[in-house]
């Protein structure tokens, strides 16, 4: 990954965050150096990218037809999660070699056994998502299909938002070297929170969310939203409103999140993971993952790029995607 030439980071960051997500939500203990396979990452990405259009076409009865384009990817991640759940439930060794399982070192004498064997899951596992889901399944409160479906939802949402937020954070630091060096000097201080929050303001992982109006509502401008109306909320545009964030709302400035600068802002002026009872279930997890990984990367490497903030273009997708993925130059920091 270290190179004097510019390199793309999205796929590597996706592999790292998916590997971490699998361990921390599904209880799959990863050995040092292990990562999920490239094919698994691609399958999850396909499922996430196809979802918005599939939902949209469902309104005109074409959702099932469009779903065929991601059928193979869905089956792939379904089998992966099903295998993890089976191992968690039975704690037995599966010797069948599967391409979607964790990649281990070719020199390991216990390749498959160590990956899915007795040590694959912590003997004294914490009460993480998979433990709670399995308890509901055993109590008959969740079906087999729902168990796999909910597990897939948690894994895909957690890894995608983490990878997306981490890539955007590195990009903002690469574009703003002064901020990057200050963060390096103050890595354990609140400045890390400010940098991540400002990144998520300008580049929210999920730029648009949908909601249904549950009761007739009159907005402050007199506009009436009738009950049952489907609406879209642009988090991307909300976070760049000059009447909220000032004349320089389109610029990257971590000082926006100094305590004194937040006091007069509405509590919903900043909603990178939405708000209310339907907010992102994994927002705390995503924030923690982004901060931990970002701190480790900045402590050991410096990042630069030829990309300018004003030149960034985005595509229409469920999560924030760049029309042209920004490339980075990465160098080891001298200790």
Please give the annotated binding residues for heme, written as ranges.
280
140 close to 267: Cβ distance less than 8 angstroms: no
304 vs 174: CA distance, rounded Å: 4
Annotated binding site: 280
219 vs 224: CA distance, rounded Å: 6
164 vs 159: CA distance, rounded Å: 8
Beta bridge partners of 35: 103
Task: Write out the chain in H/E/C secondary structure.
Answer: CCEEEEECCHHHHHHHHHHHHHHHHHCCCCCCCCECCHHHHHHHHHHHHHHHHHHHHHCCCCHHHHHHHHHHHHHHHHHHHHHHHHHHHHCCCCCCCCCCCCECCCCCCCHHHHHHCCCCCCCCCCCCHHHHHHHHHHCCCCCHHHHHHHHHHHHHHHHHHHHHHHHHHHHHHHHCHHHHHHHHHCCCCCHHHHHHHHHHHHCCCCCEEEEECCCCEECCCCCEECCCCEEEEEHHHHCCCHHHHCCCCCCCCHHHHCHHHHCCCCCCCCCCCCCCCCCCCCHHHHHHHHHHHHHHHHHHEEEECCCCHHHCCEECCCCCEECCCCCEEEEECCC
């Amino acid at each position: 990954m270290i190179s004097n030439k510019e390199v793309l980071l999205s796929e590597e960051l996706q592999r790292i965050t998916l590997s971490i997500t699998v361990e921390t939500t599904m209880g799959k203990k990863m050995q040092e150096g292990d990562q999920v396979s490239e094919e698994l990452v691609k399958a999850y990405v396909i499922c996430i990218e196809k979802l918005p259009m599939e939902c949209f076409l469902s309104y005109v009865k074409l959702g099932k037809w469009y779903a065929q384009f991601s059928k193979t990817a869905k089956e792939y991640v379904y089998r992966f999660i099903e295998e993890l759940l089976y191992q968690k439930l039975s704690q037995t060794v599966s010797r069948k070699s599967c391409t979607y399982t964790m990649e281990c070192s070719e020199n390991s004498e216990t390749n498959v056994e160590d990956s899915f064997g007795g040590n694959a899951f912590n003997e004294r596992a914490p009460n993480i998502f998979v433990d709670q889901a399995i308890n509901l399944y055993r109590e008959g409160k969740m079906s087999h299909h729902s168990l796999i479906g909910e597990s897939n939802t948690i894994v895909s949402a957690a890894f995608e938002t983490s990878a997306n937020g981490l890539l955007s954070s590195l990009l903002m630091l690469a574009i703003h070297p002064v901020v990057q060096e200050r963060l390096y000097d103050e890595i354990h201080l609140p400045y890390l929170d400010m940098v991540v929050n400002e990144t998520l303001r300008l580049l929210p992982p999920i730029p648009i969310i949908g909601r249904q109006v549950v009761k007739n509502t009159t907005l402050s401008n007199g506009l009436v939203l009738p009950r049952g109306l489907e609406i879209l909320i642009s988090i991307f545009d909300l976070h760049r409103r000059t009447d909220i964030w000032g004349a320089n709302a389109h610029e990257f400035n971590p000082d926006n999140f100094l305590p004194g600068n937040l006091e007069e802002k509405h509590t919903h002026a900043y909603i990178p993971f939405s708000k209310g009872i339907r907010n992102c279930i994994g927002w705390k997890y995503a924030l923690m993952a982004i901060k931990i990984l970002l701190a480790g990367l900045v402590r050991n490497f410096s990042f630069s790029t030829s990309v300018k903030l004003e030149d960034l273009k985005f595509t229409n997708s469920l999560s924030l995607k760049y029309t042209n993925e920004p490339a980075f130059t990465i160098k080891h920091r001298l200790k």
